[in-house]
């Protein structure tokens, strides 16, 4: 008997090359779940791909209040977008990896049935992940706000950007660089990792701040308390933008102040009971 009575299935939008294989795997998953004593809801765009009209469908924004858990088939990018969309409903997520890395969507497509069955039977680890709130303030008005599961990136265009960073109203430094990454522990295995930042275990209540190609070699990544309020002020730019989880871009100008702090909400990811974060890192990063 499943511990979850109402289950959503959400798939990424595949590229042309992977359509047939991806659709086949989604249809198999829906067929497997339909044999259980559960109610299935297929995300609207996913249902349009696989043409299973016998199941109820809803737009992604409406799914949260209707289900107990969401199964996402795709890569980490799909997980990030779904997580932001469903954060207010607080439903847990199960990620099946169809992408390259699978730090978030960590279930293997070849063993997904056994692992999903284990989770649905209640044999799982609940992994709560921090989100961060970002507000962009221009002339004392909030002109944009969003949440991130991975990171907020302030990035220059063609030339270096000059930024001033304060933490809890205390001046830290100014820096000239290609930009700066403010990351949750989840996001430290994403862009922050390629920029030389540390890997923070997801259980840590911390935020990392990583410069991108700083002009001064002594400028290093730092990690601060998750309760910190980080403010980044634009000192000089020719062109720059703020990127939310690598999926949303917002153009910046010289008047802008970016305020970042831990969100009140969190996201829960469910793993099978044999999941080990360090084993995942070894496999994904090819550690010995």
In this structure, are 114 and 188 located in the same domain?
Answer: no
Regarding whether 229 and 189 lie in a shared domain, the answer is yes
Return the ∠ at Cα 30 (arms to 24 and 32), rounded to 5°.
100
Cα–Cα distance, 157 to 9 (Å, whole number): 38
Quick one: pLDDT at residue 213?
93
CATH number at residue 204: 2.60.200.30
| One domain, residues 146 and 58 | no
Q: Per the domain annotation, does 114 fall within a domain?
A: yes
Q: Are residues 142 and 256 in the same domain?
A: yes
Residues 19 and 116 in one domain: yes
Measured distance CA(212)–CA(38) in Å, rounded: 47
Of 122, 157, 172, the domain-final residue: 122
Same domain assignment for residues 111 and 151: no
Does some domain include residue 283? no
List residues bridging with 130 in a β-sheet. 266
Q: 147 and 76: one domain?
A: no
**CA pair distance 245, 150, nearest whole angstrom:** 5
Tell me whether residue 202 is in a domain: yes
Whether residue 56 is found in the same domain as residue 114: yes
> Inter-axis angle of helices 19-34 and 112-120, to 10 degrees?
40
* Cβ 157 vs Cβ 238: under 8 Å: yes
**How much is the pLDDT for 14?**
63
Closest CA to 116 of 6, 11, 271, 274: 271
Question: Are the C-beta atoms of 83 and 64 separated by less than 8 Å?
Answer: no
> Is residue 215, in this structure, part of any structural domain at all?
yes
What average pLDDT values come out for the chain (288 residues) when binned by 10 residues?
Answer: 86 64 87 93 91 91 96 93 95 90 88 95 96 96 97 92 97 96 97 96 97 90 98 93 96 95 97 94 90
Q: Are 151 and 256 within one domain?
A: yes
The string of DSSP codes covering 126-138 is: EEEEEEEEEEEEE
- What CATH number is given to the structural domain containing 35? 3.40.50.10330
In a domain, 139, yes or no: yes
Which residues span the domain enclosing 26? 6-122
For residue 271, list its beta bridge partners. 125
Kindly state whether residue 42 falls inside one of the protein's structural domains. yes
Is 76 among the catalytic positions? yes
Using an 8 Å Cβ cutoff, are 100 and 16 in contact?
no
Number of domains in the chain: 2
For residue 2, what pLDDT is reported? 61
Q: Which of 43, 53, 50 is nearest to 9 (CA)?
A: 43
Neighbours of 206 (CB within 10 A): 20
pLDDT of residue 280: 93
| Vertex 280: Cα angle to 100 and 203 (nearest 5) | 115
Cα-trace Rg, the chain: 20
Residue 181 lies in a domain: yes
Residue 56 lies in a domain: yes
Alpha helices (runs of H) in the chain, residue ranges in sequence order: 19-34, 44-50, 60-63, 76-86, 112-120, 191-194, 277-285
Which candidate in 62, 76, 88, 178 is catalytic?
76
């Amino acid at each position: 008997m499943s511990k979850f009575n109402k289950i959503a299935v959400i798939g990424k939008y595949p590229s042309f090359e992977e359509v047939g294989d991806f659709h086949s795997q989604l249809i198999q998953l829906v067929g497997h779940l339909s044999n259980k004593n559960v109610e299935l809801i297929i995300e609207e765009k996913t249902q349009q791909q696989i043409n299973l009209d016998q199941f109820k469908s809803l737009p992604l924004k409406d799914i949260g209040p209707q289900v107990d858990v969401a199964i996402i088939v795709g890569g980490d990018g799909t997980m990030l977008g779904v997580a932001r969309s469903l954060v207010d409903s607080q439903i847990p997520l199960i990620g099946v990896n169809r992408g390259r890395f699978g730090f978030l969507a960590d279930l293997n497509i070849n063993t997904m049935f056994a692992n999903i069955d284990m989770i649905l039977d209640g044999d799982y680890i609940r992994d709560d992940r921090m989100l961060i709130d970002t507000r962009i303030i221009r002339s004392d008005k909030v002109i944009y706000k969003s949440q991130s599961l991975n990171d907020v990136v302030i990035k220059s265009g063609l030339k270096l950007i000059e930024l001033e960073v304060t933490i809890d109203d205390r001046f830290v430094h100014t820096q000239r660089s290609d930009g700066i990454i403010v990351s949750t522990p989840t996001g430290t295995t994403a862009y922050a990792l390629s920029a030389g930042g540390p890997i923070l275990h997801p259980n840590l209540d911390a935020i990392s701040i990583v410069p991108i190609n700083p002009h001064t070699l002594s400028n290093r990544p730092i990690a601060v308390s998750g309760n910190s309020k980080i403010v980044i002020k634009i000192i000089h730019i020719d062109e720059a933008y703020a990127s939310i989880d690598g999926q949303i871009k917002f153009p910046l100008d010289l008047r802008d102040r970016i305020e970042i702090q831990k969100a009140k909400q969190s996201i829960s990811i469910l793993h099978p009971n044999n999941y080990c974060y360090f084993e995942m890192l070894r496999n994904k990063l090819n550690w010995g």
